[in-house]
Amino acid sequence: MANKGHFIDRNADIPTAGLSTSGLDGAEGVKVCLSISNPEELAESLVRRNYGQIIEKSQNFPAGSVLPSSSIRDLLTSELQKSRFMSFREKFYEEMYFKKATLGEVKKTYSKPEDVTNTSQTFGSPSSPTRNECLYDVILPAKSAEQVNKEYEAFHDKYIISHNHYFPSEQVNRRYAQPFDRKSPCGDIHTHGDFGLKVKRCLEEGENHLKVIGKAQVDFMDRNEAPLGMRNKKHL
């Protein structure tokens, strides 16, 4: 307040922040500082102050003391209050927009004999008149072990051709034509149990074996693998 009177306060209605207003300009200055300028804060303070009084008043009223203005008889007999024209109009609109089509009738085609029914036939076969036959026997009739193996073999061969699928323990049969023999690779029949002797024989050079070596390879071998007791050629 040392500069009071020297400068013009452009916001005279706003109190100075951080300064005490006690004893300044009388009681009116304090009243201005405590006034609520925001209407939302004023409404909130009024609601908080009167909230408890409203609850106490509502608890004093017994439940169901407020009744609707119209009686139950008026609510149930609302159709009687309509005029004949209004009733006719509503009924006309309902019949126009909510038409119910007549139910269709099934026409007999006579495509099935009369003696064929759900009880007389089972999967296309005549049912047993005594009804002692089980449904499981009709779907999967009993078969002998020989018939099962025979049918499985025919099925498995066809399944291999169509799906190209073998079991993990089954050897693949590529069905090569003659004169190819899968047991004689490279045209020679080899048996097991020779401990690699025939492999060694195949790797040995024969009498008619011809080596094809170029001059560059011969020079390289002479420089790096000279015969014993001879000096390597020096390259100048």
- Digit-coded pLDDT (tens) for 188-224: 555 655 666 777 777 777 777 677 778 888 888 877 7
CB-CB contact of 164 with 157 (8 Å): no
Average pLDDT (124-131) is 69
The one-letter amino acid at 163: H
Please indicate, yes or no, if residue 109 is contained in any of the structural domains: no
Question: Phi and psi of 124, rounded to 5°?
Answer: 85, -5
Q: Is residue 152 domain-resident?
A: no
Q: For residue 226, what pLDDT is reported?
A: 63
- Provide the domain limits for residue 8: 1-57
Distance CA 23, CA 17 (A): 16
Q: Which of 10, 11, 18 is nearest to 37 (CA)?
A: 11
For the stretch 103-113, pLDDT in tens is 777 788 888 88
Query: Which helix (H) or strand (E) covers residue 125, if one does?
Result: strand 125-126
**pLDDT score recorded for residue 188:** 59
Q: What is the pLDDT of residue 146?
A: 93
User: Which residue type, as a one-letter code, is found at position 1?
Assistant: M
pLDDT (tens digit per residue) in 132-178: 667 777 788 888 999 999 999 888 888 888 888 888 888 887 777 77
Residue 96 lies inside a defined structural domain of this protein: no
- Reported as type and span, the H/E element at residue 126 is strand 125-126
**Does residue 5 belong to any structural domain of this protein?**
yes
Q: Report the pLDDT averaged over residues 222-227.
A: 73
What is the predicted pLDDT for the residue at 165? Answer: 85
Rounded CA gap, 190 and 172, in Å? 20
At 236 the pLDDT is 47
Query: What's the pLDDT tens digit per position in 47-89?
Result: 888 877 767 666 665 555 555 566 676 666 666 677 888 888 8
Whole-number Å distance between alpha carbons of 117 and 113 = 9
d(CA 47, CA 54) in angstroms, rounded, equals 10
15 is a domain residue: yes
In the chain, how many domains are there?
1
142-156 burial, b for 16+ CB within 10 Å, e for fewer? eeeeeeeeeeeeeee
Instruction: Output the pLDDT for position 192.
Output: 59
Distance (Å) of CA 145 to CA 94, 156, 224: 73, 16, 74
Taking 60 as the threshold, does the pLDDT of residue 19 lie above it?
no
Tens of pLDDT, residues 34-49? 665 677 777 888 888 8
pTM: 0.22
- From the centroid of its chain, how far is CA 69? 56
28 is a domain residue: yes
Q: Is 127 exposed, middle or buried (0-12, 13-18, 19+ CB in 10 A)?
A: middle
The whole-angstrom separation of Cα 31 and Cα 53 is 27
Q: Is 190 helix (H, G, I), strand (E, B) or coil?
A: coil
Per the domain annotation, does 62 fall within a domain?
no
**CB burial of residue 24 (10 Å; 0-12, 13-18, 19+):** middle
Per-residue pLDDT, 66 = 52
Q: Is residue 45 part of a domain?
A: yes
